[in-house]
Structure 1
Amino acid sequence: MASSSSCSGDCGKNGGTAFTSCLSPCPPGRLPSSLSATSAHSVSVNSKPASNQDAFTVAGYRAASLFAKLTPGPIAHASAFALSGPLAIAMRPKRLMVERHLRRINPGLSGFALRQATQEAFQSYARYYLETFRLSTLSRRQIDDGFQIEGFEHIERAVAAGKGTVLALPHLGGWEWSGRWLVDQGYGLTAVVEKLANDDLFEWFLEMRTRVGFDIIPLDDGAGLKVNEALRGNKIVSLLCDRDIVRDGERAGVQVQFFGEQTTVPAGPAFFALRTGAALIPLATYFTKRVDGHSTVVRPPIPVSRQGSLREDVARITQLLTTEIELLIRRAPEQWHLFQPNWPSDPGYQGMNTSFNV
């Protein structure tokens, strides 16, 4: 299979840049452009003077976080759901894109059922941010009470093998809840986050994730080497794998068939599993109807072996992983937080030059 990935034979060279091109960051350090004043075009690892707009954005997120932390769970959840309705109305282009993605998964979806599923997608995304704000304030018992996990033995075996674990995730449900649960069990979690042009906001999110117990790797030129070191130290590293990154106007992923159309997805999970011997495990965490309720599904490890060139093996394994990710998304497509063009046939795909989720 042809690959546009930059993860070719030179990925292992020193310097970290080639490693970094294989990464897909988790969203905690990345904010939805339509919900904040942060520019959707800015991806910066350099400091810059804070503007009044930046300060307003940080203040807004701090206020939302404070509300989520101080409000009882049921009321906070009801507030998030109430907010999702006006957001769905105001964000018409995003709403139409969500409808398009939902119909891609279920072509028979239409009318009221489609509108309802679309609204549930916005509710799910609002809940994701609500839980992100509350996560560090909850006790271990609160995390555990509504949490169910299927297939945890796959993670246990991977950790016992001592070669590191790559958890490959879609942008779905509440993955951070399962991350916090892993931390509480003593396993820990390392996550890659993309840096923001708004340095103060990035530092605030970084501090919040650190309080949860996550080890954070900012996405910069040294990130790939740090991920490599974490895996060789037998750590668990989470990498999102259902949406390609656009950096400097180019997509760095590999070509796969994904829900019936060819597109690109990140090469990172397959690449690092191949280079380090780490287990490559698909995982998704779903919201349940219970307040603070979650159900995590851990799939068996993807077979990782060298059969051809590194480029060919990355492409082959990434396709196997993408097929597994499809199955996980199909379980609850209304919880898939994909609000942007993701396939060449999607309106706006060619001109998209940001890796924001929303």
Structure 2
Amino acid sequence: MRQFPVLLCPGPGRGAGLLRRGEPRHARPAVRARGYRAAGQRARLGGLGCGRDLGPRGRGPYGSGRPRRPVVSETALSGPREWLAYRAFATVGWLGRTIPTQTGRMLFRWAGSLAYHVAPRARSTVAANQAMVLGRAVDDPLVQAVTKEAFRRYARYWFDAFDVVDWSDDRIDAAFAWNGIEHLADPVAAGTGVIAVLPHMGNWDAAGRAMLQRGLPVVSVAERLRPEELFRLFLEHRQALGMTIIGLDQNGRVGRALTSALAEGRVVALVADRDLTGRGVEVEMFGGRRKLPAGPALLALSSDAPIVVASIYETPTGWRCVLHPLAEVPRTGSRREDARAITMEIARAFERAISASPPDWHLFQPGWSDRDGT
């Protein structure tokens, strides 16, 4: 199993509501009536990189403000594997917009359990990562139990990422418990912007939607995906959530676009626990050596914007997000050494975040080259 970011714009269908234990399902019209109250706010998020201006009241690519599935010709997909990948993710997106929340979460968690049993390579990869986190052998019963739960939570992530598109502002706000939200709100209010760094934990799509509801405009980056149709669908989905996305292939313009976003008082959210370029900073995490991207540190050095570490954890009915400023790192005058020191501090913060709830870490690629981290 390969870990993919959220790739698709959900297709048409019912948005599902968040069901708490013992609560009746909300009436669908009430959700529709409030689901895009922030459309005017989202319209102001375009204009950076690949992000598109949604226009007044969310019009533009989504018409009345509700996201629609982009029209993509299947004949444009270059091969059968790409076609199958496209259809698989389109199906996940459709299910996420169609099945009621409680039922969808139950079914997707079951699918995660099934994947744990039928995907031995992915199971071995995740178990090796969790063994590093827990400091135990791969075949330890605790490692195996946490690995199985990681599959379940990752499967729920996929459902929730599409389900939340149609949630009302009140429901997304009720689903998120925030600890330290002032660490984002204060810099945004001051107009300085803030860099939020996070590992692949919990549900960052839902977090972006919840931040927007609180008046915190989010800008992020994305690896260019192939085929192009999948990348376009990924952009459509994130834009439906109110985020502005900048493609990583923009040949040096990414840094300038992110610096501009910070100058405009936005939240630049960077998922930073994987180095996609091979040119990252080597750090120690859980006793092993691995690389993290240097981008967040370099952006902080060039903009003087503060770095805030975000940790997102699943709860039975939603999520909890813990935010705290990154520990101050003394400047040496050497940009390279300062970036290395900041990245190492980010690694230590990620260790603490992941240790608090290992199965919430969605790392389905090898995190270390072997059990010893060599």
TM-score, normalisation: structure 2:
0.76
The one-letter code sitting in structure 2 at the alignment partner of 1:150 is N
Deviation of 1:29 after TM superposition, in Å, equals 4.7
5 Å-filtered alignment, 1:124-273, equals 124-220=153-249, 221=251, 222-246=253-277, 251-273=278-300
- CA pair 98-57 structure 1, distance change in 2 beyond 3 A: closer
Structure 2 equivalent of residue 71 of structure 1: 99
Structure 1 equivalent of residue 367 of structure 2: 342
5 Å-filtered alignment, 1:303-322, equals 303=328, 306-322=331-347
CA distance in 2, matches of 1:180, 1:49: 31
Structure 2 equivalent of residue 104 of structure 1: 132
Structure 2 equivalent of residue 28 of structure 1: 6
Structure 2 equivalent of residue 287 of structure 1: 314
CA distance in 2, matches of 1:100, 1:77: 26
Of 74-83 and 112-121, more deviation after overlay is shown by 112-121
CA distance in 2, matches of 1:256, 1:112: 28
Q: 2:150 aligns with which of 97, 121, 139?
A: 121
The one-letter code sitting in structure 2 at the alignment partner of 1:321 is I
- CA pair 93-56 structure 1, distance change in 2 beyond 3 A: closer
Higher RCO (CA 8 Å, separation ≥ 6 residues): 1
CA distance in 2, matches of 1:305, 1:230: 25
Deviations 1:263-297 (Å, cap 9, x if unpaired)? 2111111110111011101001110122xx11000
Query: Are 1:273 and 1:304, in contact at CA under 8 Å, matched by a contact in 2?
Result: no
Deviation of 1:187 after TM superposition, in Å, equals 1.2
Query: Are 2:185 and 2:216, in contact at CA under 8 Å, matched by a contact in 1?
Result: no
TM-score, normalisation: structure 1:
0.79
* 1:59 and 2:87 correspond: yes
Please give the secondary structure, in 2, of the residue aligned with 1:299: strand
CA distance in 2, matches of 1:308, 1:122: 44
The one-letter code sitting in structure 2 at the alignment partner of 1:236 is V
Deviation of 1:230 after TM superposition, in Å, equals 1.2
Please give the secondary structure, in 2, of the residue aligned with 1:237: strand
Structure 2 equivalent of residue 4 of structure 1: none
Deviation of 1:304 after TM superposition, in Å, equals 5.2
Query: Are 1:151 and 1:298, in contact at CA under 8 Å, matched by a contact in 2?
Result: yes
Structure 2 equivalent of residue 42 of structure 1: none
- CA pair 56-340 structure 1, distance change in 2 beyond 3 A: closer
Deviations 1:215-265 (Å, cap 9, x if unpaired)? 11111122222112212222111111211114xxxx110121111122211
- CA pair 274-161 structure 1, distance change in 2 beyond 3 A: farther
Query: Are 1:84 and 1:126, in contact at CA under 8 Å, matched by a contact in 2?
Result: yes
Deviation of 1:75 after TM superposition, in Å, equals 0.4
Query: Are 2:219 and 2:266, in contact at CA under 8 Å, matched by a contact in 1?
Result: yes
CA distance in 1, matches of 2:154, 2:214: 26
> Identity of paired residues, percent?
31
Please give the secondary structure, in 1, of the residue aligned with 2:362: coil
Structure 2 equivalent of residue 13 of structure 1: none
Query: Are 1:191 and 1:238, in contact at CA under 8 Å, matched by a contact in 2?
Result: yes
Please give the secondary structure, in 1, of the residue aligned with 2:312: strand
The one-letter code sitting in structure 1 at the alignment partner of 2:233 is W
The one-letter code sitting in structure 1 at the alignment partner of 2:180 is G
* 1:277 and 2:308 correspond: no
Query: Are 2:217 and 2:266, in contact at CA under 8 Å, matched by a contact in 1?
Result: yes
* 1:81 and 2:109 correspond: yes
* 1:324 and 2:352 correspond: no
Superposed CA RMSD: 2.3
Please give the secondary structure, in 1, of the residue aligned with 2:196: strand
Deviations 1:136-195 (Å, cap 9, x if unpaired)? 111112212221010112112222343221100001111222211111111110110111
- CA pair 305-228 structure 1, distance change in 2 beyond 3 A: farther
* Structure 2: runs of 5 or more not aligned: 9-49, 51-74
CA distance in 2, matches of 1:188, 1:346: 40
CA distance in 2, matches of 1:298, 1:317: 17
